[in-house]
């Protein structure tokens, strides 16, 4: 029964995604303002103009687990940022705490440069593995923030409380910080340490806000519809339980 429900939800989501992608290609969505992404768009332009670097921290999301989705969201953003900053003197640097993710970040950076017609600018050392445990990852990433003329740090992926070390380093360098995670501990850290925190599923909205395409905008529409379905399901479930309890009393 649960398998059937899950399959039904999956098929419904897939159909909705295809329909909304088709619609969004014809008429782009008007998105409500998320201040962090507004700031990110400004920071990207500034970084290119003043010759500073963007640092994208993709976290430690293993792609063989459900945590990999946040890493994939980070990679979608990295792809777009690589394309937009390909003319910069200082290319963006991506750090990862998972080996597979580090390779995908290299491939994504290269794709971004290729799409912008600047593949010769790509350097393998801009996609880095900095550590394989939470603290070694944080310790390996902090020098990138301190020493490489970074003006904006984008932390987007699966991290834990160790992310506080990264936000602290960013704060010390007076760099912009855009941070989002699928991990609740990291979200609490980002709420306390960033100017405009991104909470919950706002992590997955990154692509739509940096112009990654119609499918990303369509995803937001589908997420909204599914959220209402979940709310309806929870309310109906609660009403059913109350009715059942009342029936048992009577």
Partner 1 sequence: MRVVTAALAIATGIIVLLGYFFPPLEPLRLTLVNWAIAIAGMAVLVGIFNLVAVQMEKIRSRQKGSVYGAVLVISLAATFVFGALVWGPENFYLRLLVVEAIIVPVEAALMAILAVTLIYASIRLLRRRVDVMSVVFLAVALLFLFLVVPTPFGPVPGDQALLQFLGMFSRGGARGLLIGIALGTLLTGLRVLFGVDRPYGGN
10 versus 244: smaller Cβ distance to partner 1:
10
d(CA 161, CA 93): 22
Place of tokens 């394989």: 132
Give 57's strand partners. Answer: 95, 155
The interface region with partner 1, picked from 32-40, 42-50, 133-141, 242-250 by CB under 8 A, is 133-141
54 versus 165: smaller Cβ distance to partner 1:
165
Residues 174-193 that bind partner 1 (CB under 8 A): 182, 184, 187, 189, 191-193
d(CA 158, CA 155): 9
d(CA 151, CA 178): 11
* Tokens representing residue 169 in the block: 């380093």
Question: Contact between 29 and partner 1 (CB under 8 A)?
Answer: no
* Tokens representing residue 37 in the block: 């992404």
Residues 201-230 that bind partner 1 (CB under 8 A): 201, 203-205, 207, 213, 215-216, 219, 222-223, 226-227, 230
Neighbouring CB atoms inside 10 A of 87's CB total 10
The interface region with partner 1, picked from 15-23, 25-33, 38-46, 238-246 by CB under 8 A, is 15-23
The interface region with partner 1, picked from 35-43, 46-54, 74-82, 237-245 by CB under 8 A, is 74-82
Q: What is the largest CA-CA distance in the chain?
A: 77
Question: Contact between 34 and partner 1 (CB under 8 A)?
Answer: no
Q: Which of 29, 48, 118, 199 binds partner 1 (CB under 8 A)?
A: 199
């Amino acid at each position: 029964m649960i398998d059937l429900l899950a399959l039904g939800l999956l098929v419904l989501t897939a159909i909705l995604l295809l329909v909304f992608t088709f619609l969004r290609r014809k008429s782009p969505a008007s998105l409500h303002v998320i201040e962090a992404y507004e700031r990110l768009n400004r920071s990207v332009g500034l970084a290119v103009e003043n010759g500073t670097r963007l640092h994208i921290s993709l976290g430690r999301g293993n792609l063989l687990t459900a945590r990999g989705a946040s890493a994939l969201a980070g990679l979608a953003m990295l792809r777009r940022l690589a394309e937009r900053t390909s003319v910069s003197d200082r290319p963006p640097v991506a750090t990862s705490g998972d080996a597979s993710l580090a390779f995908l970040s290299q491939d994504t950076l290269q794709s971004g440069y290729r799409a912008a017609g600047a593949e010769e600018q790509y350097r393998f050392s801009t996609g880095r593995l900095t550590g394989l445990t939470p603290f070694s990852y944080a310790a390996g990433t902090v020098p990138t923030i301190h020493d490489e003329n970074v003006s904006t740090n984008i932390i987007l992926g699966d991290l834990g409380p160790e992310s506080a070390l990264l936000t602290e380093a960013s704060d010390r360098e007076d760099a912009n910080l855009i941070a989002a995670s699928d991990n609740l501990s990291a979200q609490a850290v980002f709420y306390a340490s960033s100017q405009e925190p991104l909470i919950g599923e706002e992590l997955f909205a990154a692509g739509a806000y940096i112009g990654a395409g119609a499918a990303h905008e369509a995803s937001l529409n589908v997420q909204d519809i599914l959220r209402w379905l979940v709310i309806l399901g929870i309310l109906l479930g609660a009403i059913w339980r109350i009715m059942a309890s009342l029936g048992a009393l009577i």
